[in-house]
Structure 1
Amino acid sequence: MLELKNIESSYGNIKALKGVNLSVPEGKIVTLIGANGAGKSTTMKTIMGVMKPVAGDVLFKGESIVGKKPFEIVRGGVVLVPEGRQILQNMSVRENLELGAFQRKDKAGISEDLSKVFERFPRLFERQNQFGGTLSGGEQQMLAIGRAMMARPEVMLLDEPSMGLAPLVVQQIFDVIKDINKMGTTVLLVEQNARKALQIGDYAYVMETGKIVMEGPAQEVASNPDVMAAYLGGKKKQ
């Protein structure tokens, strides 16, 4: 459904992505893991049109989306839950959610989806009139995911959704991601919590210094000694 072919992206003279090939099949959860600075967030920005690749192509349902503006990519069915949540602090929870549907015209459908988000996140319903900036970190992450859901995406990209959250909240967020996938949304998950990501993923890619260095079914990647040593707290075999 979503495919990167030999993508190269740069920040000035610094090459951040070096020939990345990655595929996200319809209906699956694909996870991308790697250390800080590996190029994971750059991959997300390139998919969303925030960065234009210097080489390669990004295909969504077989058609190139390189050169499209981010709002056009969102309208087409790909939505990003950004790193750091980036909710609007001085707008209410409800207004933040409604903003997620700003390109939609189906008022009845928007109202229906708003109800679904509140059903999924009762805490947001309770706080719907509060400013986004008054929410806890976990609640803000729920709001960021809910806002993305309001766009009715076919593919949801999540960039470090568990960052800075308490363990109990992290588990809630990963449960939500699984539920969103079960409801039919394809997921690409960038996550430093490799253990959790590999537990819920169908397929996994490992990125180092702008390159994909390993890929395979998530459980196979999780059992790889190098991955265990680098990301899962295991010991590398001698």
Structure 2
Amino acid sequence: MLEIKDLEVSFGGITALKGISLTVNDGEIVTLIGANGAGKTTTLRTVSGLVKPRAGQVLVDGKDVTRLSAQARVKRGLVQVPEGRRVFPQMSVLENLELGAYLRRDKGVAGDLDQVFTRFPRLADRRKQHAGTLSGGEQQMLAIGRALMSRPRILLLDEPSMGLAPLLVQEIFSIVSEINAGGTTVLLVEQNANMALQVADRGYVLETGRIVLAGTAAELTSTDEVKRAYLGG
């Protein structure tokens, strides 16, 4: 469904991505793990159209979308939940969710809003509350709910567990699994490699702009390099 081919990205003469390639098949959760500065967020921002690559391609369903705007990629079902949530703090929970459906013209928006409130009852209770007053976990739920309002086919998740308490981390990853079980393909960027590999089908390890390991989640979990660097083994 999603394919990245030989992607290169530079910032001010510094090469952030050095020809990486990866695939995400329909219905999978694929995780991209690595240390800070490895290039994980740059990868997602390039896939979603926020960063222009120096070379390489991004393909969705075999069609090249490398030159398409971020808005055009959302229309094709490629939707990102950014690192740090990026909710609109002075707008209500409801208004944030409605913005997720900004490009839609179908009659299913109200039904999808009901589904988001069913999935995240805390958001339903706070629908009129300013998003900036929510807790970190609630803001993460809002960011995911806003993305779901776009009806994504491929959901790009950037560090969904960042800054959250352990119990909330478990809840967020359970939600990611539920979303995937409902038919949404997921590309997950996450520093919490242990949790990411528990929910993922496959994974890639990114180090200083290069993919150094790839395999099923079980294969990566049992790899000595991954155990030492990311799992505390």
Normalising TM by the smaller chain, what interval? over 0.9
Give distance in 1, aligned partners of 2:51 and 2:87: 21
Rounded to whole Å, the distance in 2 between the matches of 1:142 and 1:219 is 28
Cα deviation for residue 49 of structure 1 reads: 1.0
Deviation at 1:12, TM superposition (A): 1.7
Q: Which amino acid aligns with 2:72?
A: E
Aligned residue number for residue 172 of structure 2: 173
Letter in structure 2 aligned against 1:49: G
Aligned to 1:64: 64
Structure 2 counterpart of 1:112: 111
Q: Unpaired segments of 5 or more residues in structure 2?
A: none
**Partner of residue 49, structure 2:** 49
What is the match of residue 189 of structure 2?
A: 190
Q: Secondary structure at the match of 1:146?
A: helix
Does residue 146 of structure 1 match 2:145?
A: yes
Aligned to 2:128: 129
Q: Distance in 2 between matches of 1:11 and 1:222?
A: 32
Q: Which residue of 1 aligns with 2:75?
A: 75
What is the SS of the residue equivalent to 1:102?
Answer: coil
Secondary structure in structure 2 of the residue aligned to 1:43: helix
TM-score normalised according to structure 1 size: 0.97
Distance 2:121 2:48 in 1: 30
Divergent runs of 4+, >3 A: none
SS in 1 for 2:32: strand
CA deviation string 1:114-164 (max 9, x = no partner): 000000000000000000001000000000000000000000000000000
Residue 228 of structure 1 is matched in structure 2 by 227
In the aligned structure 2, how far is the partner of 1:165 from the partner of 1:208?
A: 24
SS in 2 for 1:162: coil
Runs (5+) with no aligned partner, structure 1: none
Query: When the two structures are aligned, how many residues end up with a matched partner?
Result: 233
Distance 2:124 2:17 in 1: 40
Range with bigger deviation, 49-58 or 79-88: 49-58
- 1:192 is displaced (CA, Å) by 0.3
Which residue of 2 is the match for residue 14 of structure 1?
A: 14
Q: Please give the alpha-carbon distance, in whole angstroms, between the structure 2 residues aligned to 1:69 and 1:129.
A: 32
CA distance in 2, matches of 1:12, 1:50: 16
**Residue of structure 1 equivalent to 2:157:** 158
Cα deviation code 1:60-95 (max 9, x no counterpart):
000011111111100111000000000000000000
Say which SS state the counterpart of residue 58 (structure 2) adopts. Answer: strand
- Alignment partner, residue 34 of structure 1: 34
**Aligned mates of 1:206, 1:213 — CA distance in 2:** 6
SS in 2 for 1:80: strand
d(CA) in 2 for partners of 1:48, 1:11: 17
The DSSP-based 3-state class of the residue aligned with 1:205 is strand
Q: Look up the SS of the partner of 1:31 in the other structure.
A: strand
Counterpart position of 1:95: 95
Q: CA RMSD in A?
A: 0.5
- Of all paired residues, the percent bearing the same amino acid is 60
- Equivalent residue, structure 1, for 2:216: 217
